[in-house]
């Protein structure tokens, strides 16, 4: 199926939509049945049958079908947050005594959740590359978790290579694909077992919802949907699912614009004397650019730069001088955002991820690139001086 058609039309011509240009939002928390036997059968398959909001809902189900199709997966399950999806997915794959390998830098709260699991007897090890995987794997290792491009550093992982290694060692692989969206990268087609996303970012696209999703085979997603999804209670609301559906309609157009503006801003910063490095996989100077071209069809507009300073005060002053970039967490909306991990991230997490003091993350929005470049240039003048 064509991605543009999936985003705009998949499931939207079915009888239950009744010809509405916006699919109906089913607000009810309970669905009723004509017989007790029918209710009993539905409860056995509550991940697919409409019983109670905490299981699934027609509006949420439509969003799940679209996301599964975009990722080329069999099933998808939407959650009330990205961390809801990540924590439920990891929990579904490990038990007391198991070990998790974490490849490269990953989202800070994911690391925090893995530390939380230590009190239940689940351990983890952070590794930087495949060579370290060989030395860090244990007999109890069950899961390999990674992002590509990686968190904050935006290093690129050879997805097919790492999943082949994981299969040889009997490990399940989970990858966070939020950065690329399913339009620009499809990890399941390269051997990844489960893909997770924060739907709050590019897929939602308007900074007005919080949500997450896991996509993969029915063999892995269905048990998760019946157990961790139900027990953790991180259900996506039908109103948020409707926002996901609307966000998907414009995702191809928005991602093309994000890519164009992001690369223009990154190229400007790459030549600026006040910047030591630009971590954007779309730049030919990026060490993972060749791999990125092989496994990705495009680039989003989230990247980081390392300012030429070791001073938190100068980093803070740089952020304060910006006028068009707004200071804030998250990313993927219309508005351009800036954040400095050294000022906001727990020190132990930052140290684990190897994030330098001068690292600044930029989310290039949909404002004109020239406006954003001028804004950054004026803020950098004081840094260079």
Catalytic residue check, 54: yes
Catalytic residue check, 107: yes
Please give the distance of CA 191 from its chain centroid, rounded to a whole number.
18
Which listed residue (50, 75, 98, 107) is catalytic?
107
Please give the distance of CA 79 from its chain centroid, rounded to a whole number.
13
Residue 115, C-beta contacts closer than 8 angstroms, at least 6 positions apart? 124
Question: Are 152 and 361 contacting, i.e. CB atoms less than 8 angstroms apart?
Answer: yes
What's the chain's Rg over C-alpha atoms?
21
Please give the distance of CA 234 from its chain centroid, rounded to a whole number.
17
Closest residue by Cα to residue 53 from 77, 33, 26: 26
Closest residue by Cα to residue 194 from 90, 334, 327: 90
Closest residue by Cα to residue 82 from 191, 256, 202: 202
Which listed residue (47, 176, 193, 240) is catalytic?
176
Cis peptide before 366 (omega within 30 of 0): no
Which helix (DSSP H) or strand (DSSP E) does residue 124 occupy?
Answer: strand 123-127
Q: Cα separation of 186 and 181, whole Å?
A: 8
Question: Are 160 and 188 contacting, i.e. CB atoms less than 8 angstroms apart?
Answer: no
Mapping DSSP to helix (H, G, I), strand (E, B) and coil, where does residue 327 land? strand
**Residue 229: C-alpha distances to residues 78, 194, 212 (Å):** 9, 15, 12
- Judge residue 33's burial from the number of C-beta atoms within 10 Å of its C-beta, 0-12 exposed, 13-18 middle, 19 or more buried: middle
Which listed residue (49, 54, 249, 326) is catalytic?
54
Which listed residue (75, 186, 201, 243) is catalytic?
201
**Which residues participate in catalysis according to the annotation?**
54, 107, 176, 201
């Amino acid at each position: 199926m064509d991605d543009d058609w999936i985003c705009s039309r998949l499931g939207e011509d079915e009888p239950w939509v009744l010809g509405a240009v916006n699919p109906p939002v089913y607000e009810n928390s309970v669905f009723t049945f004509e017989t007790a036997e029918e209710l009993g059968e539905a409860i056995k398959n509550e991940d697919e049958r409409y019983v109670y909001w905490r299981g699934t809902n027609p509006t949420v189900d439509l969003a799940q079908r679209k996301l599964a199709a975009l990722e080329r997966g069999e099933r998808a399950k939407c959650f009330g947050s990205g961390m809801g999806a990540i924590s439920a997915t990891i929990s579904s794959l490990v038990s007391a005594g198991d070990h998790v390998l974490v490849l490269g830098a990953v989202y800070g709260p994911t690391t925090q959740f893995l530390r939380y699991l230590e009190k239940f007897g689940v351990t983890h090890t952070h590794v930087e590359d495949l060579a370290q995987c060989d030395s860090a794997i244990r007999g109890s290792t069950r899961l390999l978790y990674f992002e590509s491009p990686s968190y904050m550093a935006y290093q690129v992982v050879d997805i097919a290579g790492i999943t082949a290694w994981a299969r040889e060692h009997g490990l399940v692989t989970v990858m966070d694909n939020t950065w690329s969206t399913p339009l620009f990268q499809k990890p399941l087609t390269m051997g990844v077992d489960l893909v997770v996303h924060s739907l709050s970012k590019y897929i939602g696209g308007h900074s007005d919802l919080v949500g997450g999703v896991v996509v993969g085979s029915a063999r892995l997603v269905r048990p998760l949907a019946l157990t961790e999804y139900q027990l953790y209670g991180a259900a996506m609301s039908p109103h948020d699912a409707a926002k996901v559906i609307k966000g998907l309609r414009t995702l191809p157009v928005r991602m093309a614009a994000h890519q164009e503006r992001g690369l223009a801003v990154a190229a400007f910063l790459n030549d600026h004397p006040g910047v030591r490095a630009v971590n954007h996989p779309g730049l030919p100077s990026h060490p993972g650019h060749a791999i990125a071209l092989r496994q990705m069809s495009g680039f989003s507009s989230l990247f980081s730069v390392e300012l030429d300073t070791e001073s938190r005060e100068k980093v803070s002053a740089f952020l304060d001088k910006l006028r068009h970039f707004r200071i804030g967490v998250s990313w993927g909306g219309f508005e351009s955002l800036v954040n400095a991990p050294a000022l906001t991230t727990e020190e132990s997490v930052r140290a684990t991820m190897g994030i330098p003091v001068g690292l600044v993350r930029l989310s290039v929005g949909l404002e004109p690139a020239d406006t954003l470049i001028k804004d950054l240039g004026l803020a950098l003048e004081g840094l260079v001086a």
